[in-house]
Structure 1
Amino acid sequence: MIRKLKSELVTSIKNKRLNVFLLFLFSAFIILIFTKLSKDYTSTLNFAIKKVNVPRDKVILNDSSHKLQVTLKTHGFKWLKYYFTEPDISIDFSNEVYKKQNTYVYTKSVSYLNEKKPFRSEVKLLNINPDTLVFRYDTNLVKKVAVNIETDISFFPGFDIVDDYKITPDSVTIIGPEELVNAINVVNTEKIILTEIKSNISIKAKLNLPKNTADLKFSDNDVQFTANVEKFTEGVVTIPIQVINLPQDVSIKYFPKEVKVSYYTSLKNFNSISAKDFKVKCDFNKVDTKQSVLIPELVKLPSNVKHIKLNQKRIEFIILK
């Protein structure tokens, strides 16, 4: 029993010593870190260029050389900011550059940059390389181009669209270098694939914008695609045939004298459509004299029908005099 108590006491003392050792070790590590971060260090970093207040009628052409190597001196705590976020320098094109031929030129001294953000508050800028940046630019062109819809849509049996598909907006405005903008005459949407549709359509359609065109700006990235969908039915009307351009000294007899016209329309419009809304004519000037046939043509039809079909493609005739 005594041996057991003695053993537990020794183990407890050892554990306490170990805990105290670990506490002192951790404290020493923290003190070391703070000591290191409190010292000043000098290092060189790549700074990206952030272009601000660029004239609206100009576009700065992208160039991978638009970076500055900046040598800074500051204590360790300040360095942490540069390691966790990508540093950049803002260049104000309204007052920090000047024009030279077809370029903007930026050249500022170390003392000037020391007064700018992000170099204030115990951060000393020692050197910049290169000391001059040259920005090529082009004049912006503004152009409006049509949007073209790419579709693959099938409808539930007995359903179809009323009128046409609609897109809003039906065109987009492009702003950018003249050479790039002039190469674009239409913008297509991503293909819209829909199946067994039997209700109205209203969806966003993404535009297939040209790739690798960072110098171009588009007024829209997508368009609204809509269509009214209704139940449809087939109708048939009988229309008399009119023969036009028949010479005054010619009389003919033709058969049949009327044709059936089938069409497809919505149930809502079905009762409003009648035979008087259609007109079929045969032009004698287009007659096939070898076979003595007239070709019927539908010259009038209502706007709210589709899939129109004439059941008679040829009208036979004989000349009486």
Structure 2
Amino acid sequence: MYRSRKSGKKTTLGRSLELIIPFLLASLLWLIIVGDSEYSIVIETPIEVYDPRPDKVLKNKIAKHALVRFKGRGASLFIARYFDPPKLILDISTIQRQFQINLKEYYEKYPHRILFSRELLTFQEIVFPDIIEINLDNKVTKEMPVRLNQSVQVKPGYLLIGKVIAQPEVVEITGPQSLLNEYSLIETELIRLREISGNILYKASLINPQPDFFEIKPDNITLIGEVQSIGERLIYEIPVEIKNPPEKQTLRVTPEKVALRVIGANKLINELHPEEIEVSIDYAAQWIPNKLDYLPSVKVPESVLEWRELIPNKIEVVVVRE
């Protein structure tokens, strides 16, 4: 049976309202009934840590919330719990290295560091935790190289020129000295690039191995890579070289220059010069009396993907006696 999307949306909205309206009515009824009565409840209260000295930094995790008991009227407690929660301030700027803070004693000594509406609520006690341990370390900044965690595949008929590089190649990491000493590099997120047919310019995030303690600048890098289409070119005027020629004899090669068909990235093979290709015959290794035609060896630069055709494919070598 066909059912319109519009009717489906109305059904979903209707069900949502059926759940929300009873909750709002129940909350309102609760406020009316208990709003003027006085209660004592435990509220999960965030802990805001004031930074240590500029040359120090935390090297251990501390609780982000504490369970705190407050007393007040029902309506005031409801507002504090859901709309205007209290806050605990923890100042560690005077700690040198390591210290255990007894929260009960701390907030008895510094009651003003408990932020809440004193006209509406009364602070009673810290329920949990009893103690917070503070461990500080020297705050240092270290340069680390970036390692690319990447897999790049180009489209058929295209070629990645060289390597994909990171920009920048080195980033700065700030954190506790003892933790930073455990690392020597920073990795990127897993990068998968497929069916690439143009130059690569891709922004990638860095993986922070200790996000609670390390700050990385910058926190992302750019992948840069050159991709070109594959083509072929016939290169002329390549000189033929004789290696290890005989002493007191002159050799004559015919032809003295050849042509070679190469395949590679269009830009690179178009910039290729004949002198960069080596076509040679090793006289000491290949010479056979009464033989005239020899197959030369060919060496091409790394920029050439492959070569397919040498014109002519054989070289005539004649010994001219003095």
Q: Which TM-score band applies after superposition, normalised by the shorter structure?
A: 0.5 to 0.7
CA gap 1:153/1:132 in 2 versus in 1, 3 angstroms: closer
What amino acid sits opposite 2:151 in the alignment?
D
* Structure-1 separation of matches of 2:207 and 2:280: 45
Larger radius of gyration: 1
Partner residue, 1:317:
none
* Structure-1 separation of matches of 2:233 and 2:177: 53
Could you state the TM-score of these two structures normalised by the residue count of structure 1? 0.62
* Structure-1 separation of matches of 2:29 and 2:192: 64
CA gap 1:183/1:131 in 2 versus in 1, 3 angstroms: closer
Q: CA deviation at 1:194?
A: 2.6
Q: CA deviation at 1:241?
A: 3.6
CA gap 1:272/1:49 in 2 versus in 1, 3 angstroms: same
Residue ranges of structure 1 left out of the alignment (5+ in a row): 1-26, 289-295, 313-319
Q: CA deviation at 1:70?
A: 3.0
Partner residue, 2:56:
58
Per the alignment, in what secondary structure is the counterpart of residue 34 of structure 1? helix
Partner residue, 2:98:
102
CA gap 1:159/1:184 in 2 versus in 1, 3 angstroms: same
Could you state the TM-score of these two structures normalised by the residue count of structure 2? 0.62
Q: CA deviation at 1:262?
A: 4.0
Per the alignment, in what secondary structure is the counterpart of residue 110 of structure 2? helix
Confirm or deny: 8 A CA contact 1:104 1:137 kept in the other structure: no
CA gap 1:54/1:230 in 2 versus in 1, 3 angstroms: same
* Structure-2 separation of matches of 1:311 and 1:140: 64
Q: CA deviation at 1:87?
A: 4.9
- 1:9-88 residue pairs with structure 2 within 5 A? 33-63=31-61, 68-84=66-82, 87-88=86-87
Per the alignment, in what secondary structure is the counterpart of residue 190 of structure 1? coil
Partner residue, 1:117:
115
CA gap 1:254/1:156 in 2 versus in 1, 3 angstroms: farther
Partner residue, 2:232:
234
Q: Number of matched residues?
A: 272
* Structure-1 separation of matches of 2:52 and 2:248: 78
Confirm or deny: 8 A CA contact 2:147 2:185 kept in the other structure: yes
Confirm or deny: 8 A CA contact 2:208 2:214 kept in the other structure: no
Partner residue, 2:196:
197
- 1:69-218 residue pairs with structure 2 within 5 A? 69-84=67-82, 87-94=86-93, 97-99=94-96, 102-103=98-99, 108-110=106-108, 112-114=110-112, 116-128=114-126, 133-162=132-161, 164-210=163-209, 213-218=211-216
What amino acid sits opposite 2:222 in the alignment?
Q
Residue ranges of structure 2 left out of the alignment (5+ in a row): 1-24, 286-296, 311-320
Q: CA deviation at 1:64?
A: 5.0
**Identical residues among aligned pairs (%):** 18
Partner residue, 1:264:
264
* Structure-1 separation of matches of 2:308 and 2:178: 50
Partner residue, 1:219:
217
Q: CA deviation at 1:275?
A: 0.9
* Structure-2 separation of matches of 1:91 and 1:158: 62
* Structure-1 separation of matches of 2:177 and 2:257: 59
Q: CA deviation at 1:76?
A: 1.8
Question: Pairwise CA RMSD of aligned residues?
Answer: 4.6
Confirm or deny: 8 A CA contact 1:110 1:125 kept in the other structure: no
Confirm or deny: 8 A CA contact 1:108 1:132 kept in the other structure: no
* Structure-2 separation of matches of 1:70 and 1:250: 103
CA gap 1:115/1:165 in 2 versus in 1, 3 angstroms: closer
Cα deviations across residues 165-223 of structure 1 (Å, max 9, x unaligned)?
A: 3422222222222232122222222333233321232222233432x652222224432
